[in-house]
Amino acid sequence: MREPSAVGAHMAHDLGAEFELYHEENPHIFEELKERALVLKNAGRKRGSIAQLFEVLRYDHAVRTTGEEFKLGNNHRAFYARVLMAACPELRGFFIIHSQEHEYEPDLVALGIREVPRWPKRREQWDW
């Protein structure tokens, strides 16, 4: 496990920094969540639940894997919802998100996720 980047070095226990470390070590989680969210969206759902997607992912991994227990921390849910909506235009507004004490703005490039047109930084500027 690597040390937090300069972004999170001053707050090693910051949830955003912990999420970024987890994502760096497990980029497939983002892809699996994105795939499942798009299935829901394409099935006609107007809203999705990141908690529901986490539980489905946990179930799928429990059924199809052996060995070390699959770990997916609930602390990462809010971050995945924000990153999914930032990375996938068709998912913008799909998850209900709540304000955070220290708002997390996803840096898709730093996370290694293909950049799409940026969404406004401030919530009140969002067009959905």
Summarised one tens digit per residue, pLDDT across range 1-16 is 445 444 443 443 488 8
> Is position 76 within any domain?
yes
Quickly state the pLDDT bin for 124 (edges 50, 70, 90): low
CA 94 to centroid of chain Cα atoms = 13
> Is position 35 within any domain?
yes
Q: What is the per-residue pLDDT for 57? A: 92
Instruction: State the pTM of this model.
Output: 0.72
Domain total for the chain?
A: 1
In the predicted model, what is the mean pLDDT of the chain? 78
- Owning domain of residue 84: 15-125
Tokens 């539980």 sit at which residue? 55
Q: Give the single-character DSSP code of 111.
A: T
72 Cβ partners below 8 Å, 6+ apart?
29, 54, 57, 58, 61
> Is position 3 within any domain?
no
